Amino acid sequence: MGQKRARDPKAQVAEANKRKKAVKSDAASSDDYGSLGVDDLNWKEVAMPDRMDDAEGFFGLEEIEGVDIIKQSDGGVQFKAKAGKPTKSIVKPPSEDDGDEWAGFSDEDSAKKSPATEKTPAATEVKEDKKSKKDKKKEQNKAKKEEQKTKEQKPKEQKPKESKAAQSQSIKAALSFAALDDVEEDDGVDVSAWDGLNLSPETFTALSKMKFSSPSAIQKASIPAILDGHDVVGKASTGSGKTLAFGIPIIEHYLDQRGKQEEQSDKPEKNKYPIALILSPTRELAHQLGKHIGELIANSPDTNARVALITGGMSIQKQQRQLATADIVVGTPGRVWEILSTGTGLIRKMQKIQFLVVDEADRLLSEGHFKEMEHILNALDKHQAGDIADMDQEEEEEEPSNRQTLVFSATFHKDLQQKLAGKSRWTSGDMLDNKESMEYLLKKLNFREEKPKFIDVNPESQMAVGLKEGIVECPAMEKDLYLYSVLLYYPKHRTLIFTNSISAVRRITQLLQALQLPVFALHSNMAQKARLRSIERFSSPTANPSSILVATDVAARGLDIKGVNCIIHYHVPRTADAYVHRSGRTARAGESGKSILICAPDEVVGVARLAGKIHSKKAKKADDSNGPSKKIPLESLDIDRRVVARLRPRMSLAKRITDSTIAKEKVNTEDNWLRAAADDLGVEYDSDEFDQSKGRGRGRGGGRERREKEASELSKSEMAGLRAELKQLLSQRVNIGVSEKYLTAGRIDIDALLRGEGNDAFLGHLDPLTF
Ligand SMILES: Nc1ncnc2c1ncn2[C@@H]1O[C@H](COP(=O)(O)OP(=O)(O)OP(=O)(O)O)[C@@H](O)[C@H]1O
**Residue 216 CB less than 6 A away from ligand 1:** yes
527 Cα: distance to centroid of ligand 1 (angstroms): 27
Q: 443-469 burial string, b = 16+ CB within 10 Å, else e?
A: bbbbbeeeebbbbbbbeeebbbeebbb
Residue 467: which of 598, 611, 591 has the closest Cα? 591
CA distances (Å), origin 523, targets 503, 520, 551: 9, 10, 6
Q: Is residue 178 within 8 Å of residue 300, measured between CB atoms?
A: no
Same domain, 290 and 369: yes
pLDDT at 286: 94
Amino acid identity for residue 561 in this structure? I
Compute the distance between CA of residue 714 and CA of residue 658 in angstroms, rounded to an integer.
11
- Tell whether 116 is covered by a domain: no
Comparing 388-392, 512-516, 664-668, 721-725, the range with the smallest average pLDDT is 388-392
In angstroms, the first-to-last Cα distance of the chain is 59
Which of the residue ranges 44-48, 526-530, 615-619 has the most confident prediction, judged by mean pLDDT?
526-530
The CB density around residue 368, as the number of other CB atoms within 10 Å, is: 12
Residue 464 has pLDDT above 50, yes or no: yes
User: In terms of Cα–Cα distance, which of 591, 612, 174, 581 is closest to 408?
Assistant: 581
* CB 220 near ligand 1, within 6 Å: no
Q: Which of 244, 330, 406, 407 to mutate to test the pocket of ligand 1 (most atoms within 8 A of CB)?
A: 244
Identify the pLDDT of residue 101: 28
Give the Å distance between the CA of 243 and the centre of ligand 1.
6
Q: 360: domain CATH number?
A: 3.40.50.300
> At residue 238, does pLDDT exceed 70?
yes
Do 474 and 443 belong together in one domain?
no
Is the pLDDT higher at 339 or at 33? 339
Name residues whose C-beta falls within 8 Å of residue 441's C-beta, 6 or more positions apart in sequence.
365, 370, 373, 374, 377
Q: Is the ipTM of this complex over 0.85?
A: yes
Query: Which of 190-204, 232-246, 249-263, 671-685 is least confident?
Result: 671-685
Going by pLDDT thresholds of 50, 70 and 90, the confidence category of residue 664 is: confident
**Is 589 close to ligand 1, i.e. is its CB under 6 Å away?**
yes
| Mean pLDDT computed over 110-120 | 32
* CB-based burial, 523-542: b 16+ in 10 Å, e otherwise: beebebebbbbbbbbbbeee
194 lines ligand 1 (CB under 6 A): no
| C-alpha to C-alpha distance for 380 and 369, rounded to whole angstroms | 16
* Domain extent for 720: 652-685+706-732
- For 223, half-sphere exposure in the C-beta direction (CA atoms, 13 angstrom radius) is 25
Q: Are residues 377 and 346 in the same domain?
A: yes
Distance CA 639, CA 58 (A): 49
Q: Which of 121, 306, 216, 232 minimizes the C-alpha distance to 591?
A: 216
CA 238 – ligand 1 centroid, Å: 8
Residue 215 has a pLDDT of 97
Residue 293 Cβ inside 6 Å of ligand 1? The answer reads no
Residue 213 in contact with residue 193, Cβ under 8 Å? yes
Span 125-177, pLDDT tens digits: 333 344 444 455 555 555 555 555 444 443 333 333 333 333 333 333 333 33
Residues forming beta bridges with residue 408, ordered by sequence position: 234
88 assigned to some structural domain: no
Atom 25 (ligand 1) nearest CA: 238
Inside any domain, residue 193? no
Rounded to the nearest angstrom, the distance between the alpha carbon of 309 and the centre of ligand 1 is 20
In a domain, 15, yes or no: no
Give the DSSP letter of residue 468: E
Residues in a beta bridge with 567: 496, 595
Whether residues 679 and 545 share a domain: the answer is no
Confidence bin at 317 (pLDDT 50/70/90): confident
In a domain, 182, yes or no: no
Examine the domain organization and report whether 440 and 576 are in the same domain: no
State how many domains the chain has.
4
Beta bridge partners of 3: 64
Q: Could you identify the atom of ligand 1 that is nearest to the CA of residue 213?
A: 3
Residues 501 and 437 both lie in one domain: no
Q: What is the CB neighbour count within 10 angstroms for residue 522?
A: 23
Output the residue whose Cα is nearest ligand 1's atom 22: 242
Residue type, 501: S
Query: 717 and 766 share a domain?
Result: no
Backbone phi and psi for residue 571, each to the nearest 5 degrees, phi listed first: -110, 145
Q: Are residues 496 and 588 in the same domain?
A: yes
Probe residue for ligand 1, chosen from 564, 588, 591, 595 as the CB with the greatest number of ligand atoms within 8 Å: 588
Residue 245 within any structural domain of the chain = yes
Q: Decide: 432 in ligand 1 pocket, CB within 6 A.
A: no
Q: Is residue 388 part of a domain?
A: no
Q: Are residues 484 and 497 in the same domain?
A: yes
Name the region of 282 (left: φ>0; alpha: ψ -120 to 50; beta: rest): beta
Q: Identify which of 160, 167, 187, 116 has the alpha carbon closest to the alpha carbon of residue 303.
A: 167
- Residue 451 pLDDT > 50: yes
Smallest CA separation from ligand 1 atom 30, residue: 241
Residue 154 in any domain: the answer is: no
| Contacts for 61-68: CB closer than 8 Å, 24+ residues apart | 61/4, 61/5, 61/6, 61/7, 62/4, 62/5, 62/7, 63/2, 63/3, 63/4, 64/2, 64/3, 64/90, 65/1, 65/2, 66/90, 67/1, 67/3, 67/41, 68/1
Ligand 1 pocket test: pick from 212, 289, 592 the residue with the most ligand atoms within 8 Å of its Cβ: 212
Q: Is 247 in the pocket of ligand 1 (CB under 6 A)?
A: no
State if residue 240 touches ligand 1 by the CB under 6 angstroms criterion: yes
- What residues are paired with 473 via a beta bridge? 599
> Are 450 and 573 in a shared domain?
no
Tens digit of pLDDT for each residue in 482-532? 999 999 999 889 999 999 999 999 999 999 999 999 999 999 999 988 998
For residue 559 and ligand 1, the question of a CB distance below 6 A is answered with: no
Q: Are residues 546 and 675 in the same domain?
A: no
Q: Using most ligand atoms within 8 A of CB, pick from 560, 585, 586 the residue to mutate for ligand 1.
A: 560
- Verify whether ligand 1 is closer than 6 Å to residue 234 (CB atom): no
State pTM to two decimals: 0.68
* 419 plus 335 within the same structural domain: yes
645 within ligand 1 shell (Cβ under 6 A): no
